[in-house]
Amino acid sequence: MSFVFFVVNFTAQQMQEERKTPEMRAQMTDIERLRHSTAHVLATAILKIWPEAQFAAGPPVDTGFYYDVDLPHRISPDDFERIEAEMKKEIKANHPFERMEVSRDEALALGKKGRLAALNERNAPSKFKLDIIENIPPGETISLYRNGDFIDLCAGPHVMRTGNIGAFKLTSVASAYYKGDEENPQLQRVYGTAFKTKKELDDYFAMLEEGKKRDHRKLGKELEIYIIDEDVGPGLPLWLPRGAAIIEELEKLAKETEFAAGYQRVRSTNIARERLYLKSGHLPYYKESMFPPMQLKLDVEEEARGMALQRRIAKNQERAKAIQEKISKLEQQRGVPFSAMEMAKDKAEAAKIEAEARTMASELAVILSSHRYYVKAMNCPHHHTLYAALPRSYRDLPLRFAEYGFCHRYEQSGELFGLMRVRSMQMNDAHLYMTPDQFESEFNAVNEMYLNYFKLFGIEKYLMRFSTHDPAKLGQKFVHEPELWKKTEDMTRNVLKSSGINYVEVPNEAAFYGPKIDVQAWSVIGREFSIATNQVDFAQPRRFDLRYKDRDNVDKIPLCIHRAPLGTHERFIGFLIEHYAGNFPLWLSPEQVRILTIGDEPNLLDYARATLDELRGHQVRAEIDPSTDKINGKIQRAEQMKVHTMFVIGKRDMEANAVSVRVHGKGNLGAKPRSEVMADILQSIKERRSE
């Protein structure tokens, strides 16, 4: 097991958005309660060893829990055994978790005495807890939790007693700025995990160890699937031939599936004018995730217009300044005859100048914007433009546009991770336009497509995260359409319930233009991945003024579903590498067959090449090992590259018109007639069998 030391940094806005409301806390799962309680036991143990420790936040997280601590002593993994021993004592004591509701003044008084996140009163105040109290919204209940001598500011919830905590282990330590602000103190973040039983804990760490062996970054390099080159840039993967082969198979699968489902393929550009993304609303909502714009040089005529507008704007500013100075003088002369009339006249002139300035500034912005281009970060505005290109009738709907479109997004460098978080991606994207009456059947069809893919790839455990909006953030994080938010969220929720899909509802995580569903899938070893998304959009069709004529020849606005069942090539292939541990099924294997000869006699080589030609004639990805090495060396190399099937050909095989078959992970299957093996190979690929 390895331990990590790194710096964690979030923005203050992210920290604020992650703060759980009392309602959200009440929905904590049993395992989250257990881990939250273990964080309190961790703080108790640290205080037993270092009584001067100051604590900030200690929540449960996806893989366990952490607590941020301010302490002169630098905690390291060498301290974990000592801390865990104190934690075990607290668990054995079986102290109850007692909830105490207090007033804001009472909480502040305890904090000033150093009694919060402490075992007793101290000379130093509980500085971080005092700051947290100041930021608790007015009217929200303030509560404390006690276990033994430890009292902490906490909204809960917790398990009943410390003895209810099962198996736990500390895992790592990091540095984290308080509230994610680099101007604030840098704290030590101690991570751990906890489960109800020791078996679950052991299984978790066994999964982590297996995960290291399956790490897509490790296997991606060893199996020659992709590279990330510093000269090209971080987060910009390049696909080697073996990776490109996987991409081709996934695209073939998607195109066949989508064609059968009535999708039409489209193509769009990789850059577009700024005004397209202003129209879609991605600017300014999504600006931080887009690469900076390219400002192209204006032509002579436009440059002249722009300079003339700038001169006029400057002249207007001088006029406005002079009038403002005159108005200021008149305001000092109140009571002087005619000053009020003159002031009203000057204010009207100032308003006129201001309106002219706005018009000129708008004209200048249009000129500059028409020459400002962005690299495409999403396909939707382009697809909406294609929808709007032709008149549409209700008879044309549903209309389904599909594209494996290239997108580029500016992920922060600290967030980049192999193929899972990249800056360049190719997305299994589609946009479905429909009438409200068609929504349920279309949404169900999309979900059915997901389930079929899960079955094909052997994904047995999955979860749909249904993300909704926060009404308090309308007009900020989410478009200000309260009625449409309610309508589309209700429709989505009803379809999920009626279809029996396994889902959870997550507030405040919708896309800015509508509710979305993120698809979480678990690999065969139990690692969780976010692999795909499905979004309902009521806002962009309005922004693009998309229309269709209904049965009464009245213009209506369609609903839109954004969906990407196979996610991006990058993230989905990263998942598949770890899911299969590089042992891809035959249809998906980068190298499906490798021919290995025993000896180099001319007749034997001719037979091997004829076998190769037959395979490749059927579009099978087959190679021949041309080396003169002994057969064991050839087999070892093929096994290391996880080649799915090996044809071992010796003199006897040639004479019998046969091949000896080896399958990676299964070993030698013996000699079989060549025609029989060929037929089975082709049928397995055609059916996309899982083995």
Distances (CA, A) of 16 to 11, 54, 513, 514: 9, 21, 21, 22
Residue 602 lies inside a defined structural domain of this protein: yes
Asked whether residue 357 falls in the same domain as residue 476, the answer is no
Q: How many domains does the chain have?
A: 4
pLDDT-above-90 percentage for the chain: 68
Same domain, 247 and 281: yes
Q: Is residue 328 part of a domain?
A: yes
Looking at residue 325, its pLDDT comes to: 75
If asked whether residues 547 and 652 sit together in one domain, one would say: no
Say whether both 125 and 20 belong to one domain: yes
Q: Which of 346, 370, 394 is the last residue of a domain?
A: 370
**Contact, 567 vs 532, CB < 8 A?**
yes
Is residue 228 domain-resident? no
**Mean pLDDT of the chain, nearest integer:** 90
Phi-psi region of 233 (alpha: psi -120 to 50; beta: other; left: phi over 0): left
449: in domain: yes
Q: Which domain holds residue 271?
A: 239-285+376-580
Backbone torsions φ then ψ of 28, nearest 5 degrees: -55, 140
CA gap 270, 272 in Å, rounded? 7
Domain boundary among 330, 348, 370: 370
Between 382 and 282, the more confident residue is: 382
Asked which of 14-23, 128-137, 664-673 is least confident by mean pLDDT, the reply is: 14-23
Q: What is the pLDDT of residues 240-256, one digit of tens each?
A: 999 999 999 999 999 99
Reported as a single tens digit per residue, the pLDDT across 620-662 is 999 999 999 999 999 999 999 999 999 999 999 999 999 999 9
Q: Are residues 437 and 314 in the same domain?
A: no
**Side chain identity at 150, as an amino acid letter?**
F
Confidence tier at 16 by pLDDT (50, 70, 90): very low
Q: Which helix H or strand E contains 239, and what residues bound it? A: strand 238-239
Please say whether the beta carbons of 590 and 223 come within 8 A: yes
Domain assignment present for residue 324? The answer is yes
Q: What is the mean pLDDT of residues 51-75?
A: 95
- Rounded (5°) CA angle 484-488-493: 150
Query: Could you tell me if 65 and 205 lie in one domain?
Result: yes
- Give pLDDT, residue 334: 59
pLDDT category at 25 given cuts 50, 70, 90 is: low
Same domain? For 430 and 569 the reply is yes
pLDDT at residue 11 is higher than 60: no
629 belongs to a structural domain = yes
Check residue 315 and give its pLDDT. 79
What are the tokens at 313?
A: 């704007």
| From 10-19, 229-238, 593-602, 618-627, the region with the lowest mean pLDDT | 10-19
Nearest-CA neighbor of 34 among 197, 205, 190?
A: 197
Asked if residue 392 has pLDDT above 60, the reply is: yes
- What is the mean predicted confidence (pLDDT) over 57-76? 94
pLDDT digits (tens, 9 = 90+) for 296-324: 887 777 777 777 877 887 777 777 777 77
Does residue 138 have a cis peptide bond before it, meaning omega lies within 30 degrees of 0? no
| 645 plus 497 within the same structural domain | no
User: Mean pLDDT, to the nearest integer, of 114-137?
Assistant: 94
Answer yes or no: do 361 and 407 share one domain.
no
pLDDT grade, residue 343 (50/70/90)? low
CATH (domain of 382): 3.30.930.10
Max mean pLDDT range (1-10, 44-53, 446-455, 530-539):
44-53
Is 220 within the bounds of a domain?
Answer: no
Q: Are strands 593-597 and 622-624 parallel, antiparallel or unpaired?
A: parallel
Question: For position 174, which CATH number holds?
Answer: 3.30.980.10
The pLDDT value recorded for residue 3 is: 33
Per-residue tokens: 286? 């999504």
SS3 of 316, please?
helix
- In 3D, which of 294, 270, 273 has the Cα closest to residue 283? 273
516/412 same-domain check: yes
Pair 422, 286: CB distance under 8 Å:
no
Q: Is the pTM of this model over 0.75?
A: yes
Q: Tokens standing for 224? A: 């020659």
pLDDT of residue 331: 67
Give the DSSP H/E element, type plus range, for residue 580. Answer: helix 569-580
Residue 74 above 80 pLDDT? Answer: yes
The answer to whether 165 touches 41, Cβ cutoff 8 Å, is: yes
**Interval 504-513: pLDDT, tens:** 998 888 888 8
Are residue 259 and residue 350 in the same domain, yes or no?
no
Q: How far apart are CA 544 and CA 547, in angstroms?
A: 9
| 160 close to 148: Cβ distance less than 8 angstroms | no
227 assigned to some structural domain: no
Which of 265-279, 304-318, 463-477 has the largest mean confidence? Answer: 265-279
3-state DSSP assignment of residue 137: coil
CATH number for 673: 3.40.50.800
Does 531 share its domain with 388? yes
| CB-based contacts of 236, cutoff 8 Å, min separation 6 | 228, 422, 423, 424
Residue pLDDT, tens place only, 183-212:
899 999 999 999 999 999 999 999 999 999
Q: What percent of the chain has pLDDT over 70?
A: 94
Give pLDDT, residue 595: 98
pLDDT in tens, 515-550: 999 999 988 888 888 888 888 888 889 999 999 999
Domain boundary among 171, 195, 212: 212
pLDDT digits 0-9 by tens, 545-582: 999 999 999 999 999 999 999 999 999 999 999 999 99
Does the structure show a pLDDT above 90 at 144?
A: yes
Token pair 């912005």 in the structure block, residue: 365
* Cα distance between residue 300 and residue 309, in whole Å: 14
